[in-house]
Amino acid sequence: MPTALDSFRSELNRIDQFSDRAKLVADMLEQEAVDTESGAMAARAKADAPGASPDEADFERLQADEQEAEAEKTRQAKLEWRKDVDRVYVLRLVTAFEVFLREFVIEKASDDQASVQRFLQNRVGLHLGMPLELGAADDQPDRIAACVDATCETFSNLDQASGYFRQWFGTGFLDQELLASPLADKPAKDKAIADVRILLQLRHILVHKSGIPNAKYHGALTGDQCCARLDPSAYDAPSRAKPPDAILSSPAKYAGNNTKKDDLYQSLLNLAEHIDGAYPFT
């Protein structure tokens, strides 16, 4: 049976495939715009050719104007397409991570009854002896899943999710004393956490504000932690961050990556792998 981390990696692969297919559409639109512009250039050349009659020249210039306008429309369609793709990309990344966090709690707790006991004591106030009666082995994950769903507020808020892990396992995944590869030191962990906070802020503004930055968005992305993980080109001013599509396309901070979009993907995977390694299974 695949682990929570296995399933998360599989979903990231599907998101990668989605991005690749979406890029093909954008490339097709760009090629269409280029071809249309070439037609416009050819029409203008005919209009200016020696021997062209005034009527022929006017007709070719009209054709060129229409083709140039069509090329501009196609380029605008490409920009809108890329914005829509970026929105879906961000939402899918965050949803995949939320599912991973939930499934990891269930997986870890099913493997370690002491985690269930600790959670019931910390969250519900029940002090139960060991061993716990959780039914047959095959039923335990479903019982724990029901407990998670009944008691969890949200996995989309990083701090709340970490606090929930603390109630289950005694330590939250954001706690600095919890270190594991690939985030085996504080600077590496701080960078990944800042990137994930940026990703969650992008998701929030896309879902709740139609991608239009507001004061909370600017405040979050211009704070010291997030600002250190964004290129200066991601800002219109020191106190104003650019919209999500510009953030995603801004230069990367990790060596070897091209854009911030690549950084966010890498940091999200690093944090999931860190969580998987930081809470060993029995």
Residue 158 to residue 173: CA distance in whole angstroms: 9
pLDDT in tens, 6-62: 999 999 999 999 999 999 999 999 999 999 999 999 999 999 999 889 989 999 999
Residue 12 to residue 20: CA distance in whole angstroms: 12
Residue 37 identity (one-letter amino acid):
E
Residue pair 108/168 in contact by the 8 Å Cβ criterion? yes
Residue 271 to residue 190: CA distance in whole angstroms: 10
Positions of E strands within 53-173: none
pLDDT in tens, the chain (282 residues): 789 999 999 999 999 999 999 999 999 999 999 999 999 999 999 999 998 899 899 999 999 999 999 999 999 999 999 999 999 999 999 999 999 999 999 999 888 778 777 787 767 655 544 555 555 556 677 877 888 888 877 798 999 999 999 988 989 999 999 999 999 999 999 999 999 999 999 999 999 999 999 999 999 999 999 999 999 999 999 999 999 999 999 999 999 999 999 999 999 999 999 999 999 887
Residue 33 to residue 41: CA distance in whole angstroms: 12
Residue 15 to residue 3: CA distance in whole angstroms: 18
pLDDT at 75: 97
Residue 253 to residue 17: CA distance in whole angstroms: 24
Residue 174 to residue 52: CA distance in whole angstroms: 73
DSSP state of 282: -
How many CA within 13 A on the CB side of residue 102?
A: 20
DSSP state of 182: T
Residue pair 111/282 in contact by the 8 Å Cβ criterion? yes
Residue pair 58/44 in contact by the 8 Å Cβ criterion? no
pTM (2 decimals)? 0.88
